[in-house]
């Protein structure tokens, strides 16, 4: 029986297309212990002023003075840029080698079966074990972990073509754990 489109609140929703891994798929697991720093909540806006400064110095050198029009033109040359703050960058620096070492172990174990990193197509399940009572944003943590997997060379990219579907869950283990734990399962076909 063919699946049909359904309508919800005036929007026609077609049947969902989803690749299934089926027989022959493998699952490898990675684990990290510690705080998962949110990329989104820890970004900083910075102004890129290099071209504006250079323009103003050239105008002053050429004309001996900077006019109001020069200053306005320089203001329009300033561009905004988002960058991860120091905590997020420290997180990547600390955990990329840990994920890389675990990837090397998986490579040793499964290279004879044809495992080659970075994975070009995989699905992912991320389980977050939270040691305290603080509220956590599971989706932000999953995004950080996805970026970490790309940074460490485990997956090609975390876009929908290469890293899909992605599932996540979190649970609290107050007074049961010493560290937060992220348990990452990647499934793929060899």
- Rounded distance between C-alpha atoms, residue 61 and residue 7, angstroms: 66
What mean pLDDT is reported for the chain?
91
- Does residue 147 have a pLDDT over 70? yes
The string of DSSP letters for 92-155 reads: HHHHHHHHHHHHHHHHHHHGGGT--SSBSSEEEEEEEEE-SS----HHHHHHHHHHHHHHTTSB
**How much of the chain, in percent, has pLDDT values that exceed 90?**
75
Contact indicator for 184, 124 with CB cutoff of 8 Å: yes
Cis bond before residue 165 (omega within 30° of 0): yes
Contact indicator for 21, 167 with CB cutoff of 8 Å: no
Contact indicator for 170, 38 with CB cutoff of 8 Å: no
Q: What is the pLDDT of residues 18-70, one digit of tens each?
A: 777 767 789 999 999 999 988 777 677 888 999 999 999 999 999 999 999 99
- Does residue 112 have a pLDDT over 80? yes
The pTM of this model reads 0.76
- Does residue 1 have a pLDDT over 60? no
């Amino acid at each position: 029986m063919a699946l049909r489109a359904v309508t919800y609140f005036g929007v026609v929703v077609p049947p969902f297309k989803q690749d299934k891994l089926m027989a022959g798929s493998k699952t490898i697991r990675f684990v990290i212990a510690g705080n998962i720093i949110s990329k989104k909540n820890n970004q900083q806006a910075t102004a890129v002023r290099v071209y504006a400064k250079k323009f103003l110095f050239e105008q002053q050198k050429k004309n001996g003075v900077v006019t109001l029009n020069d200053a306005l033109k320089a203001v329009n040359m300033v561009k905004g840029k988002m960058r991860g703050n120091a905590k997020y960058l420290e997180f990547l620096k600390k955990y990329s080698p840990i994920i890389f070492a675990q990837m090397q172990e998986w490579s040793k174990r499964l290279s004879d079966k044809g495992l080659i990193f970075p994975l070009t197509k995989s699905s992912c399940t991320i389980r977050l074990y939270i040691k305290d009572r603080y509220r956590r944003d599971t989706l932000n943590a999953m995004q950080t972990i996805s970026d970490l997997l790309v940074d460490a060379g485990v997956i090609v990219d975390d876009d929908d073509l290469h890293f899909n579907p992605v599932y996540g869950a979190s649970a609290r283990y107050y007074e049961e754990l010493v560290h937060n734990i992220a348990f990452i399962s990647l499934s793929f076909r060899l």
